[in-house]
Amino acid sequence: MSLRLRTLSVNPTSPANPENDTAGKQTRFDLGNGSEVLYVPRFLPSDKSWELFDYLDSHIPWTRPTIRVFGRSCVQPRDTCYVASAGLPDLVYSGYSPRAYLWDEFPPLKEILEMVHKALPGNRFNSLLLNRYKGGNDYVGWHSDDEKLYGSAPEIASVSFGCEREFFLKKKPSKISHAVRTDGEPASKRARKNTDSDQRSFMLKHGSMLVMRGYTQRDWIHSVPKRAKVEAVRINLTFRHVLS
Ligand SMILES: O=C(O)CCC(=O)C(=O)O
Ligand SMILES: [Fe+2]
């Protein structure tokens, strides 16, 4: 309970845009060139979301693995766990291959999966990466979830619980291949500069769902940066489809 009160005092619940905060409301953001984000601020009711938060916080076998980033070993700056249907190829990211737990071991996860499927017909998510950010020092750096096992244009559904944290999306710098160079200017100088429309941010609310689809993983990167002063815990679930 004290955790809950602390969360609310650190993160006042007044929405940035009240129009987007009506139950059931969802907002689509066209990122251009076939990339799109959908945001559903009240995907799950608050009380139900706190129940799920408490379950996940205490029942998930969280680990904080050592990963490799730019050739260097470091402890991943957040807790993690991986759940997947039996028989799928192993997930490997940053030189780390998490053990895959089964859905049957965590019935509430199957319940959330069902609600996600209902909201996003046409998807069959078969894997889930869970992240727990224990406070503002925990983060996920810029990356895209573009592993081959998800295919070329994966849809990823991200459900958040607990402390609100900012989620950033930034367009990857456009690559200009040497083959198409027509003048003497280095390619790095000719790459198009990022503009305001190449960045988006979302304050991911308790019980919200954000969906990345189309070419978002190919053309954009995302992150949840550190936040000084944030002390409360956030749990995020990203549902994905692994090709088999
Ligand atoms: O915590 C989040 O909102 C994002 C997590 C994420 O990007 C990932 O697990 O790949
Ligand atoms: Fe990601």
ipTM of the complex: 0.99
Ligand index nearest the alpha carbon of residue 140 = 1
- Contact assessment for residue 17 and residue 238, using Cβ atoms and an 8 Å cutoff: no
Ligand index nearest the alpha carbon of residue 234 = 1
Find the farthest-apart pair of alpha carbons in the chain and give their distance in angstroms, rounded.
64
The predicted-structure confidence for 47-91, as pLDDT tens digits, reads as follows 999 999 999 999 999 999 999 999 999 999 999 999 999 999 999
pLDDT confidence tier of residue 194, bands split at 50, 70 and 90? confident
Q: In the chain, what are the domains?
A: 27-174+197-240 (2.60.120.590)
- Nearest to 235, CA basis, from 217, 200, 211, 208: 208
DSSP for 165-217, written as a single string: EEEEEEEPPPP--GGG--SSS-HHHHSPPP-GGGEEEEEE-TT-EEEEEETHH
What's the pLDDT score for residue 16?
A: 43
Give 89's DSSP letter.
P
What's the pLDDT score for residue 212?
A: 98
Tell me the CB-side half-sphere exposure of residue 167, using CA atoms within 13 A.
22
- Nearest to 166, CA basis, from 77, 76, 226, 238: 226
Q: Which residues line ligand 1 (CB under 6 A)?
A: 129, 131, 140, 145, 158, 167, 204, 222, 224, 236, 238
Going by their DSSP bridges, the two strands 140-143 and 220-224 should be labelled as antiparallel
- Cα–Cα distance list, 69 to 72, 93, 133, 152, 210 (Å): 5, 10, 19, 23, 26
Contacts of 187 (CB under 8 A, 6+ apart): 175, 176, 177, 178, 181
Tell me the CB-side half-sphere exposure of residue 13, using CA atoms within 13 A.
13
When pLDDT is averaged across residues 95-103 and rounded to a whole number, the result is: 97
Spatial distance between the Cα atoms of 197 and 55, rounded to a whole number of angstroms: 38
The predicted-structure confidence for 156-178, as pLDDT tens digits, reads as follows 999 999 999 999 999 998 876 44
Spatial distance between the Cα atoms of 201 and 192, rounded to a whole number of angstroms: 21
- Contact assessment for residue 27 and residue 38, using Cβ atoms and an 8 Å cutoff: yes
Judged by phi (left if over 0) then psi (alpha if -120 to 50, else beta), residue 37 lies in beta
Kindly state the percentage of the chain with pLDDT values over 70.
83
Tell me the CB-side half-sphere exposure of residue 201, using CA atoms within 13 A.
8
The predicted-structure confidence for 149-159, as pLDDT tens digits, reads as follows 999 999 999 99
Write the residue with the smallest CA distance to atom 1 of ligand 1: 236
The strand pairing partners of 222, in sequence order, are 143, 169
Ligand 2 mean position, distance from CA 238 (Å): 8
pTM here? 0.86
- The type of residue at 243 is L
Ligand 2 mean position, distance from CA 145 (Å): 5
**Whether residue 192 has pLDDT greater than 80:** no
What's the pLDDT score for residue 238?
A: 99
What's the pLDDT score for residue 22?
A: 53
Tell me the CB-side half-sphere exposure of residue 106, using CA atoms within 13 A.
23
